[in-house]
Structure 1
Amino acid sequence: METTAVGTRLVEVVVPVHNEQRALRESIARLHAYLATTFPYGFRITIADNASTDDTWGLATELARELPRVRAVHLDEKGRGRALRRVWSESEADVVSYMDVDLSTDLDAFLPLVAPLLSGHSDLAIGTRLARASRVERGPKREFISRSYNLLLRSVMGAGFSDAQCGFKAVRTEIAQALLPAVEDEQWFFDTELLLLAERHGLRIHEVPVDWVDDPDSRVDILRTALDDLRGLARVARKTLSGAARIPMPAQVRRAELPRGMARQLPRFAIVGVVSTLAYLALFTMSRQVVPAQAANAVALLVTAVANTAANRRFTFGVRGAGGALRDQVEGMIAFLVGLALTSGSLALLPDGVSHGVELVAVIAANAAATLVRFLLLRVWVFNPERRRNAR
């Protein structure tokens, strides 16, 4: 027996598909049965076919005829982001969501995902595979790539959410339709761009730990997707620094503001960080020709840490004059030691005989984490204006 919907609230579940004739019928039937028997709100399942060349579209239309509250939409071009944009922008539901067709995420997490949005407690909700309460089964390669990517988001872009790539998300419809015109990507980076834009505008992002099992038949091109994501991150960073990312939001949406002074400090710190990272990579590469990786890392990190502290002292935090410069450098060494521990640890975890390229990837990921720690230490301790006034 189907459950009775709570009031007239409607949740639209989009399942983007491309050449998924093998899994489509079983997955949609399972999803429909689960929602019809356990979900306390009204729902609609929309199969969004992205230019499939097999019998996916035929199966989708059959399922729409056979199952109540299932419909099918066809797009002539590929792209998960394109499919979500099409359905979400036209939806009249209270909440729009999506999940991958393989249903890798346990469906028991769906109600906790959308409930805070229907209650008005949150604006967006994401499933996270990186929480302690999550139970995840996937190979070490995907695990490393996923964690490195999300670490990069948190350290370089300042993201507060933990898992940008889990195919299990929901948004209040009015929020989605306000954000969509500013989201440029039509492929896999669509999720990340949407979340970064939402966070930039002070929207509330709710995270739900999920149980997740990797689909061994996944056909995602990991390398191409990673490169596209990096290009997308660079584009979003440019828009954010230029102020072009601002868009009008519904008046009732609660906004968040950066702590005092941070709006000026973050772009300057980012510029110093980019220059320091390039200098570090150059020094590491040159030193690596004559000394082991750990020694090359220590030398490169020490030289760039001293220069980085001096540049941030003057450029980011506006400290002038020689007074206290030595003390600032000594305290800045704490950040150096954190960076040294992270990068040395990442190198130590690598197996013997790996290529120089793999070493570079490892130290870049570790440096991204160290960059976040450095900014926090410099802001709240080394160059804290209240602390400096008390010292004087």
Structure 2
Amino acid sequence: MMDETMAYLEKRQYQDSGFTYEVIIVNDGSTDNTSDVALGYVTKYGADKVRLLEFTHNRGKGGAVRDGEGCLSCRGERVLMVDADGATKISDVERLEEALSKLAKDHTVPALVVGSRAHLQEQAVAERSFFRNILMYGFHLLVYVLCVRGVGDTQCGFKLFTRSAAATLFTSMHINRWAFDVEVLYIAQQLGMPVDEVAVNWKEIEGSKLVPVWSWLQMGRDILFIRLRYTFGIWRIGSNKPKQQ
């Protein structure tokens, strides 16, 4: 994934001298050689283009983004959040950039664009087992009823934010794990932040750590927490001291 990403970014910079970028890799307590691989890219491209942030203990996707300041330490006008598995084609960021430009003329306007796999749902349903489809539809219904409407795919790990949107959203979130994306979009909609959804290329990557039954139960619980705790003021939008979850 990193080879493809760096090749794409270097090519864009070569073609447009005004284009600058940085890649921030958050190592969320992994026990493999992720850090060594990441440091290899830091050495090759320089610390101004590639940075490594590390956790000793795994905190989940939300925790890595929030507590590791993966998005909060970005220096660019736009912030792309992308999973490290390479399931989404990096060049699709241009589709998101085009959509974001229509929502916000500059980075001071809070707005975000969600990469979406909703257009692939028919194929995904055909390939999944009946049980996994039941879990999927149940999750979508729960998200729609309790938290987020108007977004067909909340979970795609390919989202583009203006810098001001990232600063607002990631200092307000509390959820650490799989439902973290739902909370981000819930906060955005509560604030009236412009949100768009753009279809992206996507491929299934083997080796996912998502355990269907337990993960869906945990996500369902977290979605309930999002709605109830914000509704009753236990969690407040704008807090820069998130509670651990």
TM interval, short-chain normalised: 0.7 to 0.9
The count of aligned residue pairs is 223
Q: 1-side partners of 2:125 and 2:43: how far apart? A: 35
Task: Compute the RMSD of aligned alpha carbons.
Answer: 2.8
Aligned partners of 1:136 and 1:212 also within 8 Å: no
1:84 to 65, 81, 94: 65
SS in 2 for 1:90: coil
1:192 CA drift (Å): 1.0
Residue matched to 2:242: none
Residue matched to 1:61: 39
User: Any gaps of 5 or more consecutive residues in structure 2?
Assistant: 240-245
Q: 1-side partners of 2:190 and 2:24: how far apart? A: 29
Q: Which has the higher contact order (CA 8 A, sep 6+)?
A: 2
Q: Write the deviation string for residues 229-288 of structure 1: whole angstroms up to 9, x where unpaired.
A: 111111111134325555359xxxxxxxxxxxxxxxxxxxxxxxxxxxxxxxxxxxxxxx
Q: Write the deviation string for residues 26-45 of structure 1: whole angstroms up to 9, x where unpaired.
A: x1011110222247642211
Which residue identity lines up with residue 119 of structure 2 in the other structure? A
Q: 1-side partners of 2:40 and 2:199: how far apart? A: 34
1:145 CA drift (Å): 3.6
Deviation larger for 237-246 or 176-185: 237-246
| 1:103 and 2:103 aligned | no
Structure 1 runs, 4 residues or longer, greater than 4 Å off: 132-138, 243-246
Deviation larger for 236-245 or 107-116: 236-245
Aligned partners of 1:197 and 1:245 also within 8 Å: no
Q: Write the deviation string for residues 187-244 of structure 1: whole angstroms up to 9, x where unpaired.
A: 2221111111111111111111122111122222232321221111111111343255
| 1:127 and 2:115 aligned | yes
Per the alignment, do residues 58 and 181 of structure 1 end up closer, same or farther by CA in structure 2, a change over 3 Å counting?
same
Q: 1-side partners of 2:158 and 2:136: how far apart? A: 15
Matches within 5 A, 1:243-262: 243=233, 247=237
1:123 CA drift (Å): 0.4
SS in 2 for 1:61: helix
Which residue identity lines up with residue 110 of structure 1 in the other structure? V
Residue matched to 2:243: none
Residue matched to 2:200: 210
Q: TM-score, normalised by structure 2?
A: 0.79
Aligned residues with identical type, % of pairs: 24
Residue matched to 2:5: 31
Matches within 5 A, 1:360-371: none
Structure showing greater Rg: 1
Larger helix fraction of residues: 1
Aligned partners of 1:137 and 1:212 also within 8 Å: no
Residue matched to 1:178: 168
1:170 CA drift (Å): 1.6
Aligned partners of 1:109 and 1:208 also within 8 Å: no
1:158 CA drift (Å): 4.9
Per the alignment, do residues 224 and 133 of structure 1 end up closer, same or farther by CA in structure 2, a change over 3 Å counting?
closer
Q: 1-side partners of 2:149 and 2:161: how far apart? A: 18
Q: TM-score, normalised by structure 1?
A: 0.51
Per the alignment, do residues 37 and 157 of structure 1 end up closer, same or farther by CA in structure 2, a change over 3 Å counting?
same
Residue matched to 2:97: 114
Q: 2-side partners of 1:29 and 1:189: how far apart? A: 29
SS in 2 for 1:89: coil
Residue matched to 2:54: 74
SS in 1 for 2:138: helix
Q: 1-side partners of 2:3 and 2:123: how far apart? A: 25
Q: 1-side partners of 2:12 and 2:122: how far apart? A: 22
